Amino acid sequence: MSLGRCSKVVTRELHCKRQESRIHTTSLSPVGVTIKVPKQTDFVDAGVRLICQGRTHCDPDQDSNMTHWEQDIIPEYLHHTYWWAYLHPQAVRFWERQWLVNLILWGNFNALREEALRHVQDHFLNGESGTKNILQIACVYGNLSEHLVSKILLNRNNKQQSTSDSKYNYHIVDIAPIQLKNTFEKLAYRIERLNPKTLTVNKNDYNRSSVDILLDQQNSSQLSFETGSMDCVLLFFLLHEQPLDVRVKTLNEAIRVMKDELIIVDYHQPVHRLNPWKYFMKQVLTRLEPFAMDLWNHDISQWIDPHYRSQVHIAEKKLYFDGLYQKVVIRKIEQKDTSDHSTA
């Protein structure tokens, strides 16, 4: 769940739905309404498993082969503020267009995606063999997840000649069932249509070089993962869409579960005072993204809990498009090197 919406023009196509959506808490996301997907889809020739995780059901009438994602745990702020972007039945159909997502970011989506994924690949995928755990907090419109899967598969295949075990766990969590279902469908479609050379895995290496993609309905402010269990955590245009209390919890939960690094890509206040984008985007974000201005007025490091400040530091901060976007890398401080680093 990410990516800011930047124009009233594009929202007018959904404006006709506004009246019926005023009762969204009952008609769009009623308690008890579920989205069902297969628990596990195996791409045997590719050595890939697409696993959908959800609540445990005791009802014997429930299909045990299906995962049930329910609407009743979606936060109220999401219903109230972003029904038109993420929860409305027509939202996915409207927003899930690569050209539109790129337009929203003024042609910068591909560059920002590659900046984030290049960091993941350089620091984690290209490292030593072994089990790699990558966590993406919130689904994303556009092809971010598909490109990361492609990089994982290419990296896996490049290491097939190695005698070491190589296992990849790519976790994606979101609170909205419709977003998880959309991501499930995108990834299944992408894997089925990838170049066979990208997918093919030696049958003898299947068990030690497989890729698990795990989709799970979780609240970003209260993750179920163990502390330090994720090698790399990715937040791609999520923080600006959350109210302050939720944002602070999300950021610190991401820090808690990360083992090495947290990569954040989001909005930032343009650097130059006379930059015309600064005044235009301020109006857009103020109207459509009520929490986004916090990213303009505050440094992300200000929201790091004091408990973690001695454990992490800002390893990198890079601005793009004259400062309208930023990439921040938060890295764990190795205990033996604590005295050699500055805290966040």
Q: Could you tell me if residue 130 is left (phi over 0), alpha (psi between -120 and 50 degrees) or otherwise beta?
A: left
Map 117-128 to HEC letters: HHHHHHHHHCCC
- Separation CA 205–CA 212 (nearest Å): 15
**What pLDDT, on a 0 to 100 scale, did the predictor assign at position 63?**
66
**What pLDDT, on a 0 to 100 scale, did the predictor assign at position 162?**
53
**What pLDDT, on a 0 to 100 scale, did the predictor assign at position 243?**
97
**What pLDDT, on a 0 to 100 scale, did the predictor assign at position 47?**
81
- Separation CA 153–CA 118 (nearest Å): 15
- The string of DSSP letters for 12-46 reads HHHHTTHHHHTTHHHHTS-TT-EEEEESEEEEGGG
- Going by C-alpha positions, the residue among 45, 64, 98, 90 that lies closest to residue 206 is 45
pLDDT tens-digit profile, the chain (344 residues): 544 434 333 333 433 433 333 333 333 444 445 788 899 998 877 788 999 998 644 455 566 788 888 888 899 999 999 999 999 989 999 999 999 999 999 999 999 999 999 989 887 877 777 889 999 999 999 999 999 999 988 887 776 555 456 789 999 999 999 999 999 999 999 988 876 655 555 555 545 458 999 999 999 999 999 999 999 999 999 999 999 999 999 999 999 999 999 999 999 999 887 777 788 888 888 888 999 999 999 999 999 999 999 999 999 999 999 999 999 999 999 855 444 444 33
Q: Could you tell me if residue 83 is left (phi over 0), alpha (psi between -120 and 50 degrees) or otherwise beta?
A: alpha
Largest CA distance in the chain: 64
**What pLDDT, on a 0 to 100 scale, did the predictor assign at position 196?**
60
- The string of DSSP letters for 253-281 reads HHHHHEEEEEEEEEE---SSTT-HHHHHH
> 310 CB contacts (<8 Å, ≥6 apart)?
333, 338, 343
- Separation CA 141–CA 97 (nearest Å): 8
* pTM passes above 0.75: yes
| Domains parsed from the chain with CATH numbers | 32-57+64-340 (3.40.50.150)
**What pLDDT, on a 0 to 100 scale, did the predictor assign at position 199?**
57
